[in-house]
Amino acid sequence: MTGTDQSSFLGRISIRRNQVNAMEGYHEQEIEDLELFQKQLSDRFAELLSAPDDAPTEAFLSISWIRKLLDVFLCCETECKAILLMERDAAQISKPPLDRLIPELLERVVKAMDICNAATNGVELVRHCQKLAEITVSALEQKPFGEGQARRAKKALVSLMSAMHVDDKESSVQKTAERSWSFGRRSGNKDRHHGHYRSLSWQVAKHWSASKQIHAMTMNLAAPRGPEASCLPAPVYILSLIIVFVMWVLIAAIPCQERSGLTTHLPINKHVNWTHSLAGIHDKIGEEWKKKEKKGMAGLLYEMQKMEKLGQSLIEFTDSYQFPGEKEKLDEVAAQVAELAEVCRRMDEGLVPLQMLIREAFHRLVRNRTEFLDVLEQGAPVV
Amino acid sequence: MDGCRSGVPTYEGDLHVVAAAHHIVKALGATKNLSDDLRKILIDLDSHLSMITSNIDSKGGRGLVDVEERLDLAERKIMRWETDPMMIWDSGPKEASDYLEAVDETGKLVDGLRGLSVHENRKQKEILHRAMNIFQTAMSRLEEELIHILVRHGQQFEPKNMYSRSIRKDIVYDESFVSVEDEPTKETSSQNCSNDESGECIVDLVHADVIPDIKSIAKVMFTSNYGPEFCEAFISVQKEALEQYFSFLGTENLSIEDVLKMEWTCLSSKMNKWTWSMKIIVRVYLASEKQLCDQVLGGLGSVSSYCFLEISKATILCLLNFGEAVAMGPHRPEKLLRLLDMYETLADLLRDIDTLFSEEAGSFIQLQFHELLERLGESAIAAFKAFRVAISSNGSLYPFAGGGVHPLNKYVMNYIRMFPEYWNTLNLLLKNQHPGVADQVTKPDYGPDTSLLTSCPMAYHLRSITSCLESNLHKKSQLYKDEALQHIFLMNNIHYLVQKVKGSELRLFFGDEWIRKHNAMFQQHAMNYERATWSSVVSFLKDNNPGSSSMSKSTFKERCKGFSIAFEEVYKTQTSWSIPDPQLREDLRISTSLKVVLAYRTFLGRNLAYTDDKCVKHTVEHVENSLLDLFGGSSRSLRNSRRW
């Protein structure tokens, strides 16, 4: 979706609204706008769904894929808001059932903001993993290679694995923290608990839980039926669903505070055309999540999965390595190291922009909420 | 480094060349302002040369034996600590420098052997392998020592006595309009750590004595390509220390949802705490952290700022998120001052932030700060507007008993009395905000005395606020059935308004003209009161035929009785009325006395013949004294105290 597409769409709505300010024909125009919007949504999600499962740069759930998802989110958000608010009489927004639907939407928006912040923290964890993986790579790339380098790599890998396998439960914060540093042996260090990311700043708040937030966001999230399906409740539903969906994907992909029990079922109405691809993505991620959840894991982010696999294999190698090592094994490892280096490179390229994009989504949600509140205020009956 | 791989020199002449080269390299290495790359090259060169030297003495095989002996020695020094429960740097400077020497030696041997390894000598390979192994042990150990030093010598500082807002009072907006005036004001005044708000106060987050130790570890680890490990360890300890300090300040992570749901009193104190923590964290803690990073990692290019960013990012974001949550919350009028505090704090810290995060990687943080500042400004304006709306829409069903100073008035005036402290900020924020069409009257019609202050944006808005307040008070006065009480109410309230303005810096913004006008206003109400109450009472005492010497006795009796009843009625009602200001009460009594007592005395004096009669119920003195009871706020009656 290019910027021109979007601006022409927004322009279209704006012109329509200005032209057809008489009530007649208004509804038909709206239906048309909505259909066009849904068509675009459908296309965008179809494109996301068609991402290959294992192509290094564009893979499904890769950093660049998530960035695309967030781009789609930002576009949808703008357009949906345009359909809802642009040139519209505030009184329309404050009539039932919108007087209930919009506040519900705004509650979801607030929860989504917290999830964005949790994901921002999560990206920090992923960056931490990247740094450890980089140490591993540079140790294993050393020539000549010996046990010293193997030990160096192993040390980084152990930290990497424990950082990756964060148990996101709050209760385990301290425990994991101590585990992730292997220095406890000296008496002076006993009261110290390190853990780069098992710390306070990892938390959104005490007792906060990403999975509970998603659960709460799905409450009352039902597709409008009957005549409502073609008027204002429809874009409210679409916006809500997309927010919930995108936040759900973020939580599944990026480590977040307390993800256990994350639902794998979002109330997506599969009987509407535009949700086909969305439902497809949802099912795919849901399956993946069910498979991985029990193991305790760093999230479904493609690069993290890859890193986890490579890390495990490399840790086995460093465990059993003896100088000078077999040529065949060393070649195999060299290939893995090259792969890990590639993963690191993609992280290095993608994570900071991803973090900024998440922050942008956050700010967008903030503004979005303000705009809705302003309109609600205007539309509120004068006391 | 290819130039150094020339193998082992075989004749004497080389010895001198190598020795000379070695000498030059050492001298160059001692130069201070070297780029990292250059320094690295020199160090490599140095180790190669020393390796060559060691081989020159004793061609081929014997050279390796020497190397092995040197490695043995270094290994003993390094490995002995692996079984020692003590930390090296805790054991003394000698131990530490011995250890570093051994590490340095091992490093040199590794580099040298690596440079020579073209010869594919098996023995040599073995020694290299062993050396690298020892080297890894040492590096791992150094990392451990680093963490230990940072933790053990990390210092916390007391946040007390730092950056408390000077004399601003905590006023909590109370929608039930409970007076805030008489409550003891919580003053949070204290000194800044350096007696200078803008001055930097940098503390040692890690004891100054161990900085050279940390630096020496950094130097070894970075030159040996273990920089990433150093950073990881350094960041993790310092990050955690910052987080501990953060919770030590009593600041906790709150979700946006929590903040939005928070009750006002709780939110208010959190906002206060934020303002305070933000200053300490940015101006003291982060400034100190930055200094520490620079001290330790100064010569290593962007490493210092990278570490600093990683250490501080999470905590900063946490602080920013609270700010965002507050800014997006409902724009209630009571939030205004707290929001202004937050805004000013942030605006004040922007320069520090821009310096601390000046590198490109930090621009993300910079941007977030600027965005939040904007958001807080918008939120403050919204709260300001909400304040005005709250004033004009504050309605009452019943008249305020006694006609005293209405709590709304007290609240508003006490609240805006704080505004002058924020006038720079308010002016900036309100510059483009128009007070609204309805408030055109507030445009100053001031003549020559128009000063800069009375015509600044804040002054416009202040006058607009008080004019909202005045019209609301007028509305409230209409609730009284008694016209006299309406005037008492307005007199009291406008007097209060004027007093508050005169008694504070507000006077500079309202200007003398406004004060004069409002003085006249409440005086007018006082006069109106007198007319409304006393004209009819005094009319009994008026001589209808000024020409004749005296009235008939029956007329006198009638007039006397009429006066008494009317006076007692007034007494009964108006003792319950209230004029809280003693001076104002006194003035009104005097002027009432002048009018009533004088008329009564004249009346009695003119009809001296009848004054012994029982019909004169009240003596002049009695009337005079009774007038003193008016406006005391509790109803009294003359009827019961005296026989009729």
3-state secondary structure of B154: strand
- Shortest distance between the Cα of A184 and any Cα of chain B, in A, equals 10
What digits encode the pLDDT tens for the residues A225-239? 877 777 788 899 999
Q: What pLDDT score was predicted for residue B546? A: 61
Q: Is the pLDDT of residue A57 over 90?
A: no
What's the residue count for chain B? 644
Q: What pLDDT score was predicted for residue A28? A: 77
Among A336, A139, A330, A133, smallest CA distance to B133 is for A139
- In DSSP notation, B208-230 reads GGGHHHHHHHHHHHHHTT-HHHH
Per the model's pLDDT, the better-predicted residue between B194 and A321 turns out to be A321
The verdict on A356 touching B (C-beta cutoff 8 Å) is yes
Please give the Cα distance from B236 to B242 (Å, whole number): 10
The verdict on B371 touching A (C-beta cutoff 8 Å) is yes
Q: Determine how many CB atoms are found less than 10 A away from the CB of residue A378.
A: 12
Among the residue ranges A175-179, B6-10, B606-610, the one predicted with the least confidence is: A175-179
- In DSSP notation, A281-293 reads HHHHHHHHHHHHH
- State the average pLDDT over residues A51-60: 82
Q: What pLDDT score was predicted for residue A108? A: 96
Q: What pLDDT score was predicted for residue A187? A: 36
The single-letter DSSP state of residue B400 is P
Please give the Cα distance from B35 to A206 (Å, whole number): 46
Among the residue ranges A175-189, B127-141, B260-274, B523-537, the one predicted with the least confidence is: A175-189
Among B584, B183, B582, smallest CA distance to B410 is for B183
The verdict on A114 touching B (C-beta cutoff 8 Å) is yes
Give chain B positions within 8 Å (CB) of A370.
328
Q: Is the pLDDT of residue B223 over 80?
A: yes
Domains of chain B (ranges; CATH) run 15-150 (no CATH), 227-393 (1.20.1280.170), 406-437+447-532 (no CATH), 541-643 (no CATH)
Q: What pLDDT score was predicted for residue A19? A: 57
Nearest CA in chain B to A187: B85
Give chain A positions within 8 Å (CB) of B368.
359
Contact A278, A289 (CB under 8 A): no
Per the model's pLDDT, the better-predicted residue between A173 and B228 turns out to be B228
What digits encode the pLDDT tens for the residues A334-356? 999 999 999 999 999 999 999 99
Q: Is the pLDDT of residue A208 over 50?
A: yes
CA distance to A202, B134, B183, B334, B490, per residue, from B176 (Å): 40, 75, 15, 12, 21
* Helix locations, B540-615, DSSP H: 553-574, 582-606
Give chain A positions within 8 Å (CB) of B134.
148
Nearest CA in chain A to B362: A352
Q: What pLDDT score was predicted for residue B158? A: 76
Please give the Cα distance from B407 to B173 (Å, whole number): 11
Please give the Cα distance from B305 to B313 (Å, whole number): 12
List of long-range contacts for B430-438, beta carbons under 8 Å, 24+ apart: B430/B381, B430/B384, B430/B457, B430/B458, B430/B460, B430/B461, B431/B457, B433/B381, B433/B384, B433/B385, B433/B457, B433/B461, B435/B460, B435/B461, B435/B464, B436/B464
Question: Distance of alpha carbon A346 from its chain centroid, rounded?
Answer: 17
Please state the pTM of the whole predicted model.
Answer: 0.84
Q: Is the pLDDT of residue A15 over 70?
A: no
Q: What pLDDT score was predicted for residue A292? A: 84
How high does pLDDT run on average in chain B?
A: 83
Q: What pLDDT score was predicted for residue B642? A: 45
What digits encode the pLDDT tens for the residues B442-499? 444 444 445 678 888 999 999 999 999 999 999 999 999 999 999 999 999 999 999 9
- State the average pLDDT over residues B544-553: 67
What single letter denotes the amino acid at residue A90?
A
CB contact under 8 A, B313 and A131: no
Q: What pLDDT score was predicted for residue B111? A: 86
Q: What pLDDT score was predicted for residue A186? A: 41
Q: Which two tokens stand for residue B513?
A: 């003209």
Give chain A positions within 8 Å (CB) of B393.
383
Question: Per-residue confidence at B556, pLDDT binned at 50, 70, 90?
Answer: confident
Q: What pLDDT score was predicted for residue B447? A: 47
Q: What pLDDT score was predicted for residue A95? A: 80
Q: Is the pLDDT of residue A12 over 90?
A: no
Q: Tokens 């007649």 — which residue?
A: A24
Please give the Cα distance from B538 to B599 (Å, whole number): 7
The verdict on A209 touching B (C-beta cutoff 8 Å) is no
CB contact under 8 A, B255 and A204: yes
Q: Is the pLDDT of residue B61 over 60?
A: no
Per the model's pLDDT, the better-predicted residue between B594 and A199 turns out to be B594
CB contact under 8 A, A369 and B132: no
Contact B228, A138 (CB under 8 A): yes
Please give the Cα distance from B34 to B352 (Å, whole number): 29
Query: Which residues on adjacent β-strands are paired with residue B169?
Result: B187
Beta carbons within 8 Å of A332's beta carbon, 6+ residues apart: none
Per the model's pLDDT, the better-predicted residue between B511 and A269 turns out to be B511
CB contact under 8 A, A183 and B231: no
Beta carbons within 8 Å of B12's beta carbon, 6+ residues apart: none
What digits encode the pLDDT tens for the residues B22-44? 777 777 777 777 777 787 777 77
What digits encode the pLDDT tens for the residues B157-216? 876 555 544 334 444 443 333 333 333 333 333 333 433 444 458 889 999 999 999 999
Per the model's pLDDT, the better-predicted residue between B615 and A52 turns out to be A52
Question: Which of B134, B152, B254 lies closest to A188 in CB terms?
Answer: B152
Q: What pLDDT score was predicted for residue B545? A: 65
Q: What pLDDT score was predicted for residue A181? A: 37
Query: Which residues on adjacent β-strands are paired with residue B154?
Result: B206
Please give the Cα distance from A88 to A83 (Å, whole number): 9
Q: What pLDDT score was predicted for residue B236? A: 92
Q: Which two tokens stand for residue A333?
A: 């490892």
Nearest CA in chain B to A213: B257
Q: Is the pLDDT of residue A308 over 90?
A: yes
Among the residue ranges A151-165, A175-189, B383-397, B414-428, the one predicted with the least confidence is: A175-189
The verdict on B144 touching A (C-beta cutoff 8 Å) is yes
Q: What pLDDT score was predicted for residue B178? A: 35
Nearest CA in chain A to B85: A186
What single letter denotes the amino acid at residue B639?
R
Among A88, A96, A90, A95, smallest CA distance to A20 is for A88
Q: What pLDDT score was predicted for residue B17? A: 67
CB contact under 8 A, A114 and B257: yes
Give chain B positions within 8 Å (CB) of A186.
85-87, 144, 148
Q: Is the pLDDT of residue A73 over 90?
A: yes
Please give the Cα distance from B13 to B636 (Å, whole number): 124
Question: Per-residue confidence at B256, pLDDT binned at 50, 70, 90?
Answer: very high
Q: What pLDDT score was predicted for residue B126? A: 86
Q: What pLDDT score was predicted for residue B6? A: 39
Q: What share of chain B is helix, strand, coil (3-state, %, to 5)?
A: 70, 0, 30
